[in-house]
Every structure is written in structure tokens, then in C-alpha cells.
């Protein structure tokens, strides 16, 4: 049995933090990926001193929240897919995903100008060639096509379904990471008639290794596009 994380001193490196969490499947990264993730975190945390980009400013919080969430998204992406991180904020899940899944074509979008500028600088400082768009995702879609839109901590389901309802011809599916209130949000969306043309499936549920709060990854498809 691992010692409770709150009883331990803060990890001094990403590798140490990874070793603390008994996550299934285990986090398995190359030395090069760990170095790249560390470079990203240091750049993010430097920018965070100027802007509110993240609350996860230790190696342990980065692993337990950001890296774990990123790896869950990764499990449901096929090789070579073109994905858009919607409302990326400080770059999660898009930047870590590009590091752990170099086969993917990852783009980031952020509607807040200061955050978009910061994340573009973070991408450059991290040595990654990831496109960063200063725009709302739904305004990008008429001129772009994606296999999946990745959504984490952006908006309730009714808002997301309203935003993207006119644009299903430009992407295959939404992958949305939600907390415990997602069932209530789905019920509200149904009451408003927003689920008539989409199928919502629970793909994976898991508990935070630090807080125990359950997160759920949802897959959302236009009806007729999902295999029954």
C-alpha cells in the first residue's frame, strides 16, 4: 500500500511524482517524453505567475490531474487522428497529448487573447510545432475539419451541444471530460431538446488519485455516425 500522498513531501521531479500514483494502466513514458513534459511544466508555471492558467503548479498535481486526464483522452484516439483542444487554457490536454502521442495532429484553440498568446509562447518555448488559434472553436470549424474535439473544464453539456450543433459536418465526435454533475447536465440538455440528434456515451470513469472525485469521459456523436 502506497503512503497517502498528502503525508508525503512534494515531489522534486516529474519522475518522482509519476512513481507515487498507482494508476491503471500505469504511466509509461520515455525519458524524452518526461523531459519534454518537464520543459512544458516549467514554461507553464513561469507564465502562470503573470496569468491564471492553472492551479496545478506542483509535479504531484500535474500528474494527478493534468497528465492522468490527458492519458484518458489518449486511450480513445486512433493513430494519426486530427484533434482540436477546445478552450485549452494553459495547454491541457493538448500539449501533453502531443508529447505522449506524437502520431496525432494536435491543434489548440483559446478564445481569451491573453491566454492564447501565453499558450503560443509556451508551445514555442517547449519546442513543439503545435498550431494555436486565438478563436472560439465553433468559429474555426467552417474552415477546418477534425476527427475529434477535446473538451475539458470548458462549459456545461447544454452549452457545448448548442455551440457545436451546426457544425457536425466538420468533426466526427466530441470527447468531453466531466465531473460528477454530468448526468444532471445531460438531463438538462434532454429537456431542452439538445440530444435529439446526438448520441452520448460514457466511455470511461475514474477517480482522482488525490481527491477521489470521479471524472467521466463522454463520447458524443451525431446520430447515424456512431456504430450501434
Task: Check pLDDT > 60 for residue 42.
Answer: yes
Domain ranges of the chain: 9-222
Helix (H, G, I), strand (E, B) or coil at 128: coil
Over residues 97-152, the pLDDT tens digits come to: 999 999 999 999 999 999 999 999 999 999 999 999 999 999 999 999 999 999 99
Distance between first and last Cα of the chain: 41
Strands (E), the chain: 82-86, 105-110, 132-134, 146-152, 171-178, 198-207, 214-222
Over residues 149-190, the pLDDT tens digits come to: 999 989 999 999 999 999 999 999 999 999 999 999 999 999
* In this structure, CATH architecture of domain 9-222: 3-Layer(aba) Sandwich (3.40)
Whether this prediction's pTM lies above 0.75 is answered by: yes
Confidence class for position 228, pLDDT limits 50, 70, 90: very low
**Smallest Cα–Cα separation from 156: which of 127, 126, 131, 176?**
176
The pLDDT, as a whole number, for residue 7 is 64
Over residues 57-97, the pLDDT tens digits come to: 999 999 999 999 999 999 999 999 999 999 999 999 999 99
Amino acid at each position: 500500500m502506497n503512503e497517502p500522498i498528502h503525508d508525503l513531501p512534494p515531489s522534486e521531479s516529474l519522475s518522482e511524482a509519476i512513481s507515487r500514483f498507482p494508476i491503471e494502466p500505469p504511466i509509461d513514458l520515455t525519458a524524452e517524453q518526461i523531459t519534454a513534459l518537464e520543459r512544458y511544466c516549467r514554461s507553464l508555471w513561469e507564465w502562470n505567475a503573470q496569468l491564471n492558467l492553472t492551479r496545478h503548479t506542483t509535479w504531484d498535481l500535474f500528474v494527478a490531474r493534468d497528465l492522468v486526464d490527458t492519458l484518458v483522452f489518449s486511450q480513445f484516439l486512433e493513430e494519426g487522428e486530427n484533434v482540436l483542444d477546445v478552450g485549452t487554457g494553459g495547454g491541457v490536454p493538448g500539449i501533453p497529448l502531443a508529447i505522449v502521442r506524437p502520431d496525432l495532429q494536435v491543434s489548440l484553440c483559446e478564445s481569451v487573447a491573453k491566454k492564447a498568446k501565453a499558450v503560443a509562447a509556451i508551445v514555442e518555448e517547449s519546442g513543439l510545432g503545435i498550431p494555436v488559434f486565438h478563436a472560439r472553436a465553433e468559429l474555426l470549424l467552417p474552415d477546418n475539419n477534425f476527427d475529434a474535439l477535446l473538451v475539458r473544464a470548458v462549459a456545461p453539456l447544454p452549452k457545448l451541444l448548442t455551440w457545436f450543433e451546426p457544425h457536425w459536418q466538420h468533426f466526427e465526435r466530441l470527447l468531453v471530460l466531466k465531473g460528477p454533475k454530468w448526468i444532471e447536465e445531460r438531463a438538462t440538455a434532454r429537456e431542452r431538446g439538445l440530444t435529439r440528434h446526438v448520441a452520448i456515451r460514457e466511455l470511461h470513469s475514474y477517480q482522482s488519485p488525490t481527491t477521489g472525485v470521479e471524472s467521466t469521459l463522454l463520447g458524443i456523436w451525431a446520430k447515424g455516425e456512431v456504430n450501434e
